[in-house]
């Protein structure tokens, strides 16, 4: 049950003004924080990053929902986003210290050579990390002598640890020292979820605009290298399956109900692919093993289906298996962006918002948009669609699956390995 003053349910808007003031925000900041719908990027610039600098009340171990653990020490200070602070779990463990805004030095186009710049993306999925990667890479290209630091969730360091244009890599939450000692700061938080311009503009082009850089479209594509040890591991799994590298990755579950088609849709798509004798490998989190096994057993040709989830300890393994595939078909999940960064052809199935605002700059990429009357609705929240039917949004219900799979098959046929 939601209550008016429960910060876990209501977010920053449920936090009393006097508490936000203690965290270093003035009345104008509070007004912009409470306004979760900002029309343009220029308006968004007036919004302060929703960050605080906190000190632990005791030395302890933080455990995050993805299993990542971080030891926090009582005598240190940490950068934490406002939403994490108002979460009751974190609020009991931290106390506010010096005001975040007093040390904020937003980059406004100054020469970054011989300067240290800290960029951060506090939360988000693997796709969000891919979105900002071309921006970081381009800044290092035009300012090769800058010292570039990036702070983002540790669970995505499987990817960013190979980004050779970074000088420093930090997990979230991070010590306040990199923040205090940096010459300039650039953040990417909230642009997708709170700025209305993100509903009409491709995310890579929007982030380029955010940093005021005229970046060519050809540069607005993430570039990723797979981990060699994970590739060897995946090849061993394929050998055990007696499967060569002519297979398709299929991911029809997103991390929100809004972007996940109903089970009947998923089964029909799978069967249409199998009836064209395409071997299918499923990648997902290990806790989806039984769900995927059930889907495979219901399919027309289970002998052509392979469940990689029991072998995949984290996204780095899924990326390596993707690298070995001929093609990826997915709803709006991080695997689409990882595949594109690896140079693998992708086909996206998009519902709440059009594929163009995510995939427009990608090579070897096609997509289909939902046919629902209410689409695109641009909803990102984790709650159910207001038009929900049997627990699922109707976004995908009017897609002609046979025509869609025929388009997918043509791409698959052209991109099979020799």
Q: Are residues 383 and 240 located together in one domain of the fold?
A: yes
Domain boundary pick from 188, 219, 250: 219
Q: Are residues 322 and 408 located together in one domain of the fold?
A: yes
Buried b (16+ CB within 10 A) or exposed e, 356-370: ebbbbbbebbbbbbb
Domain boundary pick from 158, 185, 219: 219
Three-state DSSP class for 267? helix
Q: Are residues 269 and 370 located together in one domain of the fold?
A: yes
Q: Are residues 166 and 237 located together in one domain of the fold?
A: no
Task: Residue 396: give its domain's CATH number.
Answer: 3.40.50.2000
Q: What is the model's pLDDT at position 376?
A: 87
Q: Are residues 179 and 256 located together in one domain of the fold?
A: no
Residue 382 has pLDDT above 70, yes or no: no
Structural domain span for residue 404:
228-415
Q: Are residues 247 and 314 located together in one domain of the fold?
A: yes
Distance of CA 187 to the CA centre of its chain: 15
Residue 107 lies in a domain: no
**What's the Rg (C-alpha) of the chain?**
22
Task: Residue 199: give its domain's CATH number.
Answer: 3.40.50
Helix (H) or strand (E) segment spanning residue 202? none
Number of domains in the chain: 3
235-238: long-range contacts (C-beta < 8 A, 24 or more apart)? 235/324, 237/308, 237/311, 237/321, 238/324
Residue 146 lies in a domain: yes
Q: Are residues 272 and 201 located together in one domain of the fold?
A: no
Q: Are residues 263 and 315 located together in one domain of the fold?
A: yes
Residue 108 lies in a domain: no
Average pLDDT over residues 139-159: 95
Burial class of residue 246, CB neighbours in 10 A (0-12, 13-18, 19+): middle
Q: Are residues 251 and 205 located together in one domain of the fold?
A: no
Residue 186 lies in a domain: yes
Three-state DSSP class for 244? coil
The closest of 8, 43, 179 to 99, measured between CA atoms, is: 179
Q: What is the pLDDT of residues 402-414, one digit of tens each?
A: 999 999 999 999 8
The percent of residues above 70 in pLDDT, for the chain, comes to: 87
- Confidence band of 309 (pLDDT split at 50, 70, 90): very high
Residue 197 lies in a domain: yes
Q: Which of 94-103, 123-132, 151-160, 224-233 has the lowest mean pLDDT?
A: 94-103
Average pLDDT over residues 93-116: 86
Q: What is the pLDDT of residues 9-56, one digit of tens each?
A: 334 444 567 766 766 677 666 666 665 677 889 888 877 788 888 888
Q: What is the pLDDT of residues 392-404, one digit of tens each?
A: 888 899 999 999 9
Query: With DSSP H G I counted as helix, E B as strand and the rest as coil, what are the percentages for the chain, rounded to 5?
Result: 40, 15, 40
Q: Are residues 215 and 336 located together in one domain of the fold?
A: no
| Average pLDDT of the chain to the nearest whole number | 87
Query: Which residues, 6+ apart, have CB-to-CB distance to 281 below 8 Å?
Result: 243, 247, 248, 249, 250, 306, 308, 321, 325
Q: What is the dihedral of CA 281, 284, 286, 288, to 10 degrees?
A: -90
Q: Are 202 and 356 in contact (CB under 8 A)?
A: yes
Q: What is the model's pLDDT at position 33?
A: 65
Domain boundary pick from 73, 101, 129: 101
Residue 282 lies in a domain: yes
- Say how far apart CA 217 and CA 87 lie, in whole Å: 39
Q: What is the pLDDT of residues 291-303, one digit of tens each?
A: 999 999 999 999 9
Q: Are residues 384 and 262 located together in one domain of the fold?
A: yes
Residue 111 lies in a domain: no
Residue 262 lies in a domain: yes
Q: Are residues 15 and 35 located together in one domain of the fold?
A: yes
The closest of 60, 100, 102, 101 to 80, measured between CA atoms, is: 100
- Say how far apart CA 290 and CA 349 lie, in whole Å: 23
- Confidence band of 385 (pLDDT split at 50, 70, 90): confident
């Amino acid at each position: 049950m939601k209550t008016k003053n429960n910060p876990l349910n209501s977010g920053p808007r449920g936090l009393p003004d006097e508490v936000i003031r203690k965290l270093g925000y003035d009345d104008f900041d509070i007004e912009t924080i409470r306004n979760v719908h900002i029309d343009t990027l220029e308006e968004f610039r007036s919004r302060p990053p929703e960050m605080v600098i906190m000190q632990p009340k005791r030395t302890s171990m933080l455990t995050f929902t993805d299993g990542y653990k971080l030891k926090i020490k009582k005598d240190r200070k940490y950068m934490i986003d406002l939403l994490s602070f108002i979460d009751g779990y974190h609020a009991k463990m931290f106390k506010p210290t010096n005001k975040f805004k007093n040390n904020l030095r937003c980059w406004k186009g100054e020469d970054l050579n011989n300067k240290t710049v800290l960029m951060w993306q506090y939360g988000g999925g693997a796709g969000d990390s891919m979105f900002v990667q071309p921006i970081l890479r381009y800044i290092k290209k035009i300012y090769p002598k800058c010292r570039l630091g990036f702070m983002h969730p540790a669970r995505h360091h499987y990817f960013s640890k190979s980004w050779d244009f970074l000088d420093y890599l930090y997990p979230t939450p991070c010590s306040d020292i990199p923040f205090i000692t940096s010459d300039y700061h650039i953040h990417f938080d909230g642009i997708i979820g709170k700025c209305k311009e993100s509903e009409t503009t491709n995310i890579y082009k929007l982030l380029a605009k955010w940093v005021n850089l005229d970046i060519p479209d050809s540069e607005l594509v993430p570039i990723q290298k797979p981990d060699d040890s994970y590739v060897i591991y995946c090849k061993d799994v394929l050998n055990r399956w007696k499967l060569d590298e002519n297979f398709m990755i299929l991911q029809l579950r997103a991390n929100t109900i809004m972007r996940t088609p109903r089970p009947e849709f998923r089964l029909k798509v799978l069967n249409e692919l199998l009836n064209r004798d395409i071997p299918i490998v499923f990648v997902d989190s290990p806790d989806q093993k039984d769900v995927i096994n059930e889907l495979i057993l219901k399919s027309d040709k289970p002998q052509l289906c392979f469940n990689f989830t029991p072998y995949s300890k984290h996204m780095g393994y899924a990326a390596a298996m993707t690298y070995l595939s001929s093609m990826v078909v997915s709803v709006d999940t991080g695997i689409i962006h990882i595949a594109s960064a690896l140079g693998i052809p992708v086909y996206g199935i998009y519902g709440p918002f059009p594929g163009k605002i995510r995939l427009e700059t990608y090579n070897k990429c096609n997509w289909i948009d939902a046919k629902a009357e209410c689409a695109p609705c641009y909803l990102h929240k984790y709650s159910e669609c207001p038009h929900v039917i049997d627990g699922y949004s109707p976004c995908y219900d009017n897609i002609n699956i046979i025509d869609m799979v025929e388009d997918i098959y043509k791409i698959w046929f052209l991109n099979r390995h020799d």
